[in-house]
Amino acid sequence: MTQTLSIAALFDTIVAIFAKAGLSPDQAAAVARTVTAGERDACKSHGIYRIEGCLRTVKAGKVNPLAEPTVTVDGAIVRVDAQGGFAPLAFERGAPVLAETARRHGLAAMAIGDCVHFSALWPEIEQLTAQGLAALAMCPSYSSVAPAGGIQALLGTNPLAFGWPRPGNPYVFDFATSVVARGEVELHRRAGKPIPEGWAIDAEGAATTDPTAALAGALLPFGGHKGSAISTMIELLAAAMIGENDSVTARKVLGDMTLSPTHGELVLAFDPRRFTADPFTAAEALLEAIAGQGARLPSQRRFAARAAAETEGITLTPDETARLERFLSLGLDAV
Ligand code: NDP
Ligand code: PYC
C-alpha cells in the first residue's frame, strides 16, 4: 500500500534517520531539508533515493558527520570550509554571508571546499532568489560522462543551476550537463527499465539502453560539444580555480560510485539592482513572453508538485516506505 505523509512528517523521519546514523543535529537537519525538498518537488533522483548513498558514505567513514563548516571573507570572495561534512550545511552557513557580500559589491562568489556532495542545486539557488538576488551555482561530481567525441568516463555529471528573482516563484533552471543525472539512470536500473537511446554508451563505447551497461560505461553530455564545453568549464571554475577535487580525482579518492563524492562548489550571487535601476520590468516582459507562447518555464513542474505536496502531502511507494523504516530501525546496519 502507498503511504501519504505531510512534508513536516517526512522531514522529521529523515532527520531521525540521519541522527541515528550519527550526524550532528545541524548536519542531520540540513541534509533532511534538501532531501525532503527533492521529494516534495517530485525530483526523485535527488529525493529520498539519496538517503542510502549518504548512509553508505557515513558508514565508509568518507564524510565527517559532525562537521562544523567555517566561513571567511576575502573581498568579494566568501570561502566556506565544509570540514569534510555534507554540502547542505556548508551552503546554509555561507549563504547569508554571500548575500550580504553580493549586496555590498554588486556581485560575490562563494567557494565551498571539502564538502561531500549528493544534492540538487535548486534548493540553494532558491535561498538566494528569495533575497532578491540572481544566482548561479555549479560543481563537479565524479567521472561518469564521456567528453563529446570521446568514449571514456572523464567529466562528472556536473550540474549548473541559475535563478532570477520574480514576484511569486523565481525563474530557476538546474540541470546535469550530461543528458540526464546519473541518479536517473540508477533509478531506471532499480526499476528494471531500459534507458532511452542517446543517454549513454557502454564500456566499449557502443550506444546502449541497458542502465547497468551505461553505469559501467559512460553517460553522454547534453547537446554534444556544447554540453561537453559547459561541463569542462565547471571542472575549471568549480575545481581547478577553487583548488578542490575535479571529477577524476573525486572518483579516484572515493573508489566506489555507490558513495557520495568529496569536492567543492562555486556559487555566484548578483544584486541586479546594483547594475541598473530597474532590471525587473524587462526581465518580467521576457519571461512572460516565453510563457505566453505556451512554452513552460523551467521549474514550473517542480512548483506545481510542491503546491500539490503542500495540500495533499507526499505519497511514497511501499518500497520507499519499507526502505525508510529499515533505515530508521537499523541505522548504518541497513546499508
Ligand atoms: P532535468 O532534465 O529533469 O531538468 C533540468 C531542468 O530543466 C529543470 O530545471 C527542469 O524543470 C527543466 N525542464 C525539464 N523539462 C523542461 C521543459 N520541457 N521545458 C522547460 N524546462 C524544462 O534534470 P537533470 O536530470 O539534468 O538533473 C536533475 C537534478 O540532478 C538537478 O537538480 C541537478 O542539480 C542534480 N544533479 C546533481 C549533481 C551533483 O553532483 N550534486 C550531479 C548531476 C545532477 P522542472 O524541474 O520543473 O522539470
Ligand atoms: O545524479 O549525477 C547525479 C549525481 C552525482 C552526484 C550527485 N548526483
Cα–Cα distance, 325 to 77 (Å, whole number) = 43
> Catalytic annotation on 46?
yes
Distance 141 CA to ligand 2 centre (A): 7
Is the CB of 173 inside a 6 Å radius of any atom of ligand 1? yes
Q: Residue 240 gets which letter from DSSP?
A: I
Look at ligand 1, atom 21, and give the residue with the nearest C-alpha. Answer: 298
C-alpha cell at 286: 521576457
CB 165 within 8 A of CB 121: no
Residue 1's pLDDT is 85
Residues 94-142 pLDDT 10s: 999 999 999 999 999 999 999 999 999 999 999 999 999 999 999 999 9
Q: Which residues pair with 71 in a beta bridge?
A: 80
Residue among 46, 117, 188, 263 flagged as catalytic: 46
Residue of 35, 45, 220, 246 with the most ligand 2 atoms within 8 Å of its CB, for mutation: 45
C-alpha cell at 49: 533515493
> Catalytic annotation on 231?
no
Arithmetic mean of pLDDT, 77-81? 98
> Catalytic annotation on 45?
yes
Half-sphere exposure of 230 (CA within 13 A, CB side): 19
Arithmetic mean of pLDDT, 166-195? 96
Residue among 39, 124, 126, 184 flagged as catalytic: 184
- Map out the domains of the chain with their CATH numbers: 1-59+299-335 (1.10.1530.10), 71-172+224-295 (3.30.1370.60), 179-220 (3.30.60.50)
Cα–Cα distance, 269 to 264 (Å, whole number) = 17
CB 114 within 8 A of CB 82: yes
